[in-house]
Chain A
């Protein structure tokens, strides 16, 4: 593709880009958060949210209001927006949107399989699935007993199918295997998405690649962190790392050898981006590594809006909105559980 997105981008995607920028402008501001934090009850929260872009989204809920009701309604709203974008998109933006939904689909599949393992009813688990990752074959996931079963019977026609190449096995799906499956799927998904953005070139590649590189590295780091003290072998661990990040290849090899947090930190210290992040952990306000990563992600996503004529804005918008929803849910939880000391540790979107 030519490196001149300015010339033709608006023909196909100008409307949607305008729309998404408008939506982004409606994200909650710092002032809104300050007001939200002051709320005494969830009803107050609802009244305040009415003055923002959320509008009357809770108007038809019968009281009493619960956090999960708020969460579902917010998700529904995001889903409506996303569906609107998706329905109005043209190639290759629609493929981009499909890639965006894939991560939610992976999560949903894994969730359903875990549910089946614990003999929960499908309906119950379905309610917890993210609406962005819904697909028709989803509910049949529990008929599969092995990964290849899963692939052959259920997922072969979904966008997830190409990601299965690396993880076909005849192992029965127990908890560990599902977790491995999730990570392998995610790894191939991220690599495919990365390749898609890279091939697309232009501003989209310039914006999306760093975001996806960060995403990949974050996964690698989190996997490492979570695998301490489990039976996961170091070789297996390495196979789970997505290879499209900045850590690849040297950092990933070192990470695979890491045995505790300090060793991990030493690996990260070799990289300019991750060093300050690891330094921030624990130093102030007792932030966890996850919080730090979220903050960095928010920052990258906000910066994505500084360039024009690229698809990254859509990705960034959905991620920012998700973060906003996490914040609202956090605040709502703090309010409903009367646990106000930690209410301020939401992650502000600047």
Chain B
């Protein structure tokens, strides 16, 4: 687990990629995902970079592929799961691929265009037949019911009137007929009325089947209309209005025979079109099927290619333009892998690509390798801040402390067990594909499945300690308390003198009875594991548990925080700042332990030193602790002899630790700064001379030239050494110290949330039991069974939603807070940047999310 304790050591490496094989090298690197590239062309805008053309070509290919995928999914051809991850296409194949794809696109576009044309044609013909069918009834109706035909009195009452008769009479009656979308009918009619001043007759009927709109492809309702009008002028207007409303206009047959002929002709044409359309569709399907075979891997390949060119864009060219220089961060452990990848990539070339490491003062990115178990815990820590390079990583300890602190708040082994089972289910099915693509909330649970697992396990443990199972206690080993010993009959009369014992009348008449542990035989020793189940029956149960849980939270909190300070020592050792240990960490530990460590000591001492008999004269810890600071005039008899001296000594240590904490580090740094400058007088003088004398300057210049480019690049890269600023150091240290000293008190108080939440959880589950299950159990047996079922179901639902999910969430948040604020601020800086390797595996996952699914 060494890798989890600190982030991997990184080094900056320069890769010299021969321009011929750079692409292959990067392809090999991308497959392995070993290195993070640094952008060497930050001030070059995106379209002026070297490989813009290639990136553009990739984008063109992507566009074609998106089109292909779109077409393939439209005809419901399943996209085959391509081979796991095809390598980036070799450069030679790229052109071929591009040609193929372009040809395919052209072909596809043509076929679809033809198909669309045919469909449109077909649709028009279908519309036409519909129109003919519907309008057949119109004319007759017009004639029968509309009074506008008064101009032709002879025809008025002729019920057999047909349009052909009208024609014979020579009236300039014109017809426009067609189809219009349902939504536009009303506006259309109004417009016709207004524009033609009522000289038109519009008849329309709704078409009983919905047809596709040829422009948008939507299936909508249509109306068939027939407009009759007189005169050329109005006819033009009507046609224009029809155009404006995107009506589909079809010629209106003049005679019945004509109508029949047209209809017949239409039917045959529709038949023909259907066959042609089928053939086209079959062909299209064939083409698409063929394309579908390779499209998945093509998409991946193009993505990879694009990624490679993006990385190449980050490289700079060397003077001779023959090789590309890339700067990468690489974990030291992976350097052999990197070399191998480079060799692989440049195997065909005459000059191999190579690398060398270069020293740098810049902070490298942080890489902490995780597996699926540690990943969740690392995420909790990273959410606070990615660790600085090589700093102690709290995630390692979080694996245990986080579920533990959670469980202290969530202690109930029934609930814990349910949580454990749920997590176990997730863990056992973790390879199930549906879980991996699940929705947001379930995904959250899935990603934290190992955390949940441990949280459940630890809750079972603390639940056993608290002896709580759905708020009920379990009597596993038999209680340590014996009630029969309280009866007067069980004791010999001479012993009974001082003791308050029970007899029948007391038992019968008093509502509550108190067991007295000081009577021999009543308390037979502690319960072997956890809290004695008899407390569940006691009225003073809360008082007892509160005292226990409160003390426990303080003890756990102080241990947790002290551990944090100790981890700080590891950091100081690693970063070679030993003085920090003596001037910061040690006073911090002293401050903490002398006050709060002593508090723990008192708590434990009191537990051990006083028994049931002597409990009445035991002093209060609170008063003792306050007295430690107040030096009361009247001596109380404390916990142990010599207590006052010990306390004074501890207090003195605490008081001494504070100024050391405040001033130690700044003064030491000042001394170091001054001392060093005294020590190196000659060197200081040398720099002075160098500044003044021109010769030196020129010398310096020539030196620079000799060292060449490399040095200059380094120069820009080097972080400028900070000026020594005593005031600033003093201020930061003072702030840090004040924060620490106050934090010791407030953070300790903060750990009391462990007590508060566990109390709340226990009480809530108790209430749930009392309000539901007890009611259900009280009803007499005949009906009780019927009632118990819904009560049980309700109880389960409430338990899951309130006690498990809601309470679990709140305990989770508080546990996170205890880690982030109380624990990590003792040692964790968290100012690093994450190591993001150039890796194809990150690409492909992204693809499957957006494009296909």
Measuring CB to CB, which residues of chain A are less than 8 angstroms from any residue of chain B?
35, 38-39, 43-44, 47-48, 51, 59-60, 122, 136-140, 142-143, 152-154, 156-157
Give how many B residues have a beta carbon under 8 Å from the other chain's beta carbons.
20
Q: How far is the CB of A126 from chain B (nearest CB, A)?
A: 10
B237 and A143: CB pair below 8 A?
yes
Q: A60-B63, A143-B237 are in contact. Are A137 and B45 (CB under 8 A)?
A: no
Instruction: Among A35, A51, A59, A136, point to the contact of B245 (Cβ < 8 A).
Output: A136
B241 within 8 Å of A by Cβ? yes
B243 within 8 Å of A by Cβ? yes
Q: How many A-B residue pairs have CB under 8 A?
A: 49
A157 and B243: CB pair below 8 A?
no
Residues of B within 8 A of A153 (CB): 191, 194-195
B817 within 8 Å of A by Cβ? no
B47 and A39: CB pair below 8 A?
yes
B46 within 8 Å of A by Cβ? yes
Q: List B residues 39-70 near A (Cβ within 8 Å).
A: 45-48, 52, 56, 59, 63
Q: A43-B56, A136-B245 are in contact. Are A143 and B195 (CB under 8 A)?
A: yes
B637 within 8 Å of A by Cβ? no
Beyond the given pairs A122-B243, A154-B195, 5 more chain A to chain B contacts, judged by CB atoms under 8 angstroms and listed by A's residue number, are A48-B47, A136-B184, A137-B191, A138-B244, A140-B244
Q: A140-B240, A152-B194 are in contact. Are A51 and B184 (CB under 8 A)?
A: no
Q: How far is the CB of B64 from chain A (nearest CB, A)?
A: 10
Shortest Cβ distance from A63 into B: residue: B60
B169 within 8 Å of A by Cβ? no
Q: List B residues 15-59 near A (Cβ within 8 Å).
A: 45-48, 52, 56, 59
B793 within 8 Å of A by Cβ? no
Q: Is the interface of B mostly helix, strand, loop or mixed?
A: helix
B187 within 8 Å of A by Cβ? yes
A47 and B46: CB pair below 8 A?
yes
B436 within 8 Å of A by Cβ? no
Residues of A within 8 A of B187 (CB): 136-137, 157
Residues of B within 8 A of A39 (CB): 47
What CA separation (Å) do A47 and B55 show in the bound complex? 10
What CA separation (Å) do A142 and B239 show in the bound complex? 12
* Pairs across A and B, CB under 8 Å, 8 listed: A38-B48, A47-B47, A48-B47, A51-B46, A59-B59, A136-B187, A143-B195, A157-B190
A59 and B195: CB pair below 8 A?
no
Q: A47-B46, A47-B56, A48-B47 are in contact. Are A139 and B191 (CB under 8 A)?
A: no
Q: How far is the CB of A69 from chain B (nearest CB, A)?
A: 15
Residues of A within 8 A of B241 (CB): 140, 143
Q: Is the interface of A mostly helix, strand, loop or mixed?
A: helix
Q: How far is the CB of B622 from chain A (nearest CB, A)?
A: 51
Among B47, B56, B244, B245, chain A packs the most CB atoms within 10 A around the CB of B47
Q: How far is the CB of B320 from chain A (nearest CB, A)?
A: 26
What CA separation (Å) do A155 and B47 show in the bound complex? 49
Residues of B within 8 A of A60 (CB): 63
Q: A136-B184, A154-B191 are in contact. Are A59 and B46 (CB under 8 A)?
A: no
Q: List B residues 396-450 near A (Cβ within 8 Å).
A: none
Q: How far is the CB of A317 from chain B (nearest CB, A)?
A: 27
Shortest Cβ distance from A136 into B: residue: B187
Residues of A within 8 A of B194 (CB): 152-153, 156
B244 and A137: CB pair below 8 A?
yes
What CA separation (Å) do A44 and B56 show in the bound complex? 10
Residues of B within 8 A of A154 (CB): 191, 195
Q: How far is the CB of A264 from chain B (nearest CB, A)?
A: 41
The 10 A-B residue pairs with the shortest CB-CB distance, nearest first, are A139-B244, A140-B244, A153-B195, A44-B47, A47-B47, A143-B240, A153-B194, A143-B237, A35-B45, A140-B241
Residues of A within 8 A of B59 (CB): 59
What CA separation (Å) do A105 and B63 show in the bound complex? 36
Q: How far is the CB of B668 from chain A (nearest CB, A)?
A: 46
What CA separation (Å) do A120 and B306 show in the bound complex? 46
Residues of A within 8 A of B191 (CB): 137, 140, 153-154
Q: How far is the CB of B843 from chain A (nearest CB, A)?
A: 18
Shortest Cβ distance from B192 into A: residue: A153
What CA separation (Å) do A157 and B194 show in the bound complex? 11
Residues of A within 8 A of B46 (CB): 47-48, 51
Chain B 236-258 interface mask (CB, 8 Å, partner A; 1/0): 01001101110000000000000
What CA separation (Å) do A156 and B244 show in the bound complex? 16
Residues of B within 8 A of A143 (CB): 195, 237, 240-241
Q: How far is the CB of B47 from chain A (nearest CB, A)?
A: 4
Residues of A within 8 A of B184 (CB): 136
Q: How far is the CB of A101 from chain B (nearest CB, A)?
A: 18
Shortest Cβ distance from A60 into B: residue: B63
Q: How far is the CB of A276 from chain B (nearest CB, A)?
A: 36
Shortest Cβ distance from B183 into A: residue: A136
Residues of A within 8 A of B48 (CB): 38
Q: How far is the CB of B102 from chain A (nearest CB, A)?
A: 11
Q: A47-B56, A60-B63, A122-B243 are in contact. Are A140 and B47 (CB under 8 A)?
A: no
Q: How far is the CB of A32 from chain B (nearest CB, A)?
A: 10
What CA separation (Å) do A60 and B195 show in the bound complex? 42
Q: How far is the CB of B842 from chain A (nearest CB, A)?
A: 21
Residues of B within 8 A of A47 (CB): 46-47, 52, 56
Shortest Cβ distance from B105 into A: residue: A62
